[in-house]
Amino acid sequence: MIKSQTDYAMLMASLPPHALSLWEIENKRLSRVQLDKHLSLLTTEDKKTLDKIEVALHWAKMPSIEKAQLAGKNAEHLLSNLHNTFLEELIIWRLQIRTIMAAIRYRKLNSSVKNTAEFQGYGEIVSQIKKNWQSDDFALSHRFPWVKQAQQLFMTNETVALEKLLLNLSWQHYERIGQGHYFDFEAVIIYVLRWDIINRWAKNDQQKAMQQFELLVEQALVPLPLTN
């Protein structure tokens, strides 16, 4: 069990480094079972904290307004008990992305709605989103330059490109804030969150491959396996 900074260093040293680019991930990636074996070195308290952060920031399909609200409440409870400024800022950053994407989705599904009172999210950006509801980027591009692109991809139903944008956004953000955190608990958190992104993108690739295979089958371009 980890009791000192040296033990965190040993844990991080035992983990294979992530690729420089999310798009350079090889098929032979660390499985969740393998990752959990490494993480078994954490103390019970650290493991609980890690689990709560993963749940709060779990990658999923475009959140519904109800799911976004529930995730926000769970995250608020976590933040109130975390007492770690670095991790608090990390969580808040992801919640802001989730809030913006939930607003984009809610606005499209309720295009005729003028009253934004029902929309809820996390943080101070909620008031700005409501104030600038009719603006494509909610007047947030100065802080979040990717919003206009995300809005366009969502409106044109380019779901794969949108997910790629959001995954890479988080991948690069975690890499950037991880500078200076190499052999501490924060480094462990960042490593696992980046692994979550790898896992999410790998599943996306598998889904696309299966969809392509099914299309080829429908077009009779690949043979079906023989059955007895």
Q: What is the pLDDT of residues 85-117, one digit of tens each?
A: 999 999 999 989 988 998 998 888 876 656 677
The number of domains in the chain is: 1
Is residue 187 within 8 A of residue 177, CB to CB? The reply is no
Residues 209, 198, 13, CA angle at the centre, nearest 5°? 140
Q: What does pTM read for this prediction?
A: 0.83
Q: What is the pLDDT of residue 227?
A: 42
CB within 8 Å of 108: residues ≥ 6 apart: 154, 155
146, HSE (Cβ side, Cα atoms, 13 Å): 18
The whole-angstrom separation of Cα 68 and Cα 76 is 12
Inside any domain, residue 193: yes
Residues 184-209 have pLDDT tens digits of 999 999 999 999 999 888 877 655 54
Q: Provide the residue range defining the domain that includes 79.
A: 5-11+30-218
Burial, 215: exposed, middle or buried (Cβ in 10 Å; 0-12, 13-18, 19+)?
exposed
Q: What is the pLDDT of residue 182?
A: 92
pLDDT over threshold 90, residue 68: no
Give the closest residue to 163 by CA, choosing from 154, 155, 172. Answer: 154
> Which comes out higher in pLDDT, residue 213 or 15?
15
Inside any domain, residue 133: yes
Inside any domain, residue 20: no
Inside any domain, residue 119: yes
* DSSP letter for each residue of the chain: ---SHHHHHHHHHHSPPPPSSGGG--SSPPPHHHHHHHHTTS-HHHHHHHHHHHHHT---SSPPHHHHHHHHHHHHHHHHTT--HHHHHHHHHHHHHHHHHHHHHHHHHTTT----TT---SSTHHHHHHHTTTSTTTT-TTT-TTHHHHHHHHHTT-HHHHHHHHHHHHHHHHHHHTTT-SSSHHHHHHHHHHHHHHHHHHHHHHHHHHHHHHHHHHTT-SPPPP--
Inside any domain, residue 92: yes
The whole-angstrom separation of Cα 105 and Cα 99 is 10
Q: What is the pLDDT of residue 201?
A: 85
Inside any domain, residue 23: no
Residues 117-173 have pLDDT tens digits of 778 888 889 999 999 998 999 999 999 999 999 999 999 989 889 989 999 999 999
pLDDT over threshold 50, residue 224: no
Token duo for residue 50: 């890690």
Residues 14-66 have pLDDT tens digits of 999 998 888 876 656 789 999 999 999 999 999 999 999 998 888 765 455 55
Inside any domain, residue 21: no
Inside any domain, residue 166: yes
Q: How many CB atoms lie within 10 A of CB 82?
A: 17
pLDDT over threshold 80, residue 223: no
